[in-house]
Amino acid sequence: MSILKNFLFGFVTMGANYGSINASNALPGRAEALKGISEVHAFNGNRMFPPFPEGTKSATFGMGCFWGVERSFWKIKGVYSTHAGYAGGYTKNPTYQETCTGATGHAEVVRVIFDPEQVKYSALLKNFWENHNPTTKDRQGNDTGPMYRSAIYCEDETDLELAKKSAEKYQQNLSDRGIRGEISTEIKLDNVFYYAEDYHQQYLHKNPGGYCSMRGTGVKCTL
């Protein structure tokens, strides 16, 4: 997976200024959502599409390749459903191949549907910070490019404030352990999410020996 992604990324956007991608020059995408995505979560059997149970909330995280990221969240008690997808960019209903070019502006993400009565948003943030390296801009392990950026896309202003405070706290945790890298995580209010193709959904449940690039810093997040 890593080799394919990096090939596509380099082939299509070689020499491009990725920071110049905006709503006017991003790939146009399409009006219709991608089809053929299962309505049932392969790991826990819950719904993949709305409506979700009353009282649940959503949180969206970018931590590199979404395969391992999704697995790290579906294991958490109180998480109802997880969805691999694309967010943070401009192209409507992008495909995997389009996102790999860097010309959609999107990051690979996982949307988490959770019950705040069973698991706090802070617990999801803790999982986020501890299971990837937020100081490596546009890169996680061997996967490079803006689609692999560290990102938190929040459902509401309350979660946005908590996410920003958690970044400050984790930056202090890193400094206390002698890690000087600056957190590059994109944190913003953004509810726009596009599902990835069906074969990406719960990939590591369907393919237990599949590729996973998740590597944390080894530093605990003391929220």
| Active-site position among 65, 100, 154, 221 | 65
Q: How far is CA 24 from CA 75, 90, 101, 118, in A?
A: 39, 9, 16, 42
Whether 221 sits among the annotated catalytic residues: the reply is no
The candidate with the shortest Cα–Cα distance to 68, out of 218, 222, 209, 220, is 209
Question: Which two structure tokens, joined as six digits, stand for 38?
Answer: 């299962």
Q: Please report, to the nearest 10 degrees, the dihedral formed by the alpha carbons of residues 66, 69, 75, 78 taken in order.
A: -90
Instruction: Describe the crossing of helices 121-130 and 66-74 by its angle, rounded to 10 degrees.
Output: 140
Is-contact 78 122, C-beta < 8 A? no
Distance between CA atoms of residues 62 and 197, nearest Å: 17
Q: Which residues are catalytic?
A: 65
